[in-house]
Amino acid sequence: MFSLKDAKGPAKLYFDLTQTTFKGLNLIGYKEFDDFFIKQVEDCLLPFIHFPQLKNYMEESSLLLDVGFGGGWPLFILSLLFPEKRVIGLDARKKRVVAVEEMAKELSCPNIKVFHHRMEEVLLDESSFITFKGVGSVDECLSLVGSIEPTYVLFYKGPSFDEQEGDKLNTFLKQNNQWKLIMDEDYELSTSHKRRILLFHKRKNVPRGTKKDLVRASQLI
């Protein structure tokens, strides 16, 4: 199993590149590697260590997708966990797309492809596992997902989630028969003592009729 120890090498190379070649892009807000590793890399990877059932859903999916990937995390974690699968990143910021594309080459992650698209512009026409980290509210993000194949969505949320979004999400799920919450877990990051909340959803019903002007995920190569 890919571990925190295994992640050290790729993470250090990434960090060094953000301090040199890509310094002007502000891909991360950390000046020390240990802070970056604990608060970014460890944070992204621990869900798949604590809850191995998530990897079972990833194995069932032909496409792994990170939306609003920013500096590239958890996009790179998805690639490192499953180097044999297609891993796609979508981001609205063109400069980040270009930078992360170059980073993927430096980190030897050839299965990563990144695109300057928003989620609502893409139709998932193959089984997909999606991650959202630090990107909008859960109900708004789920509303943007268009799919005609089995779809799973994992959200990374902070300790204030229940207070800020809990009631809103419950109302959304009651009014929308497309999505089911199948995992709601929280835990403490091992070294930073930050509380992390994970919300994992499955699409229950595939809607009939889709917009024909959407970009199909299978064509993003």
E-assigned strand segments in the chain: 63-67, 86-90, 112-115, 122-124, 128-133, 146-147, 151-157, 179-188, 195-203, 215-216
Q: What is the CA radius of gyration of the chain?
A: 17
Q: How many CA atoms lie within 13 A of 95 on its CB side?
A: 6
Tell me the pTM.
Answer: 0.94
Q: Are 29 and 19 in contact (CB under 8 A)?
A: no
What span, in angstroms and rounded, lies between the C-alpha atoms of 101 and 113? Answer: 7
Tell me, yes or no, whether 158 lies in a domain. Answer: yes
**pLDDT by 10s per residue, the chain, length 221:** 789 999 999 999 999 999 999 988 889 989 999 999 998 999 999 999 999 999 999 999 999 999 999 999 999 999 999 999 999 999 999 999 999 999 999 999 999 999 999 999 999 999 999 999 988 999 999 999 999 999 999 999 999 999 999 999 999 999 988 999 999 999 887 666 678 999 999 998 776 666 668 999 999 97
Q: Tell me, what's the pLDDT at 210?
A: 60
Token pair listed for 93: 């910021």
Domain that residue 109 falls in: 4-204+214-219
Report which secondary-structure segment, H or E, holds 53.
helix 53-60
Q: Tell me, what's the pLDDT at 180?
A: 95
Q: Tell me, what's the pLDDT at 58?
A: 96
Tell me, yes or no, whether 187 lies in a domain. Answer: yes
Tell me, yes or no, whether 76 lies in a domain. Answer: yes
Tell me, yes or no, whether 209 lies in a domain. Answer: no
Structural domains counted in the chain: 1
- CATH number of the structural domain spanning residue 130: 3.40.50.150
What's the length of the chain?
221
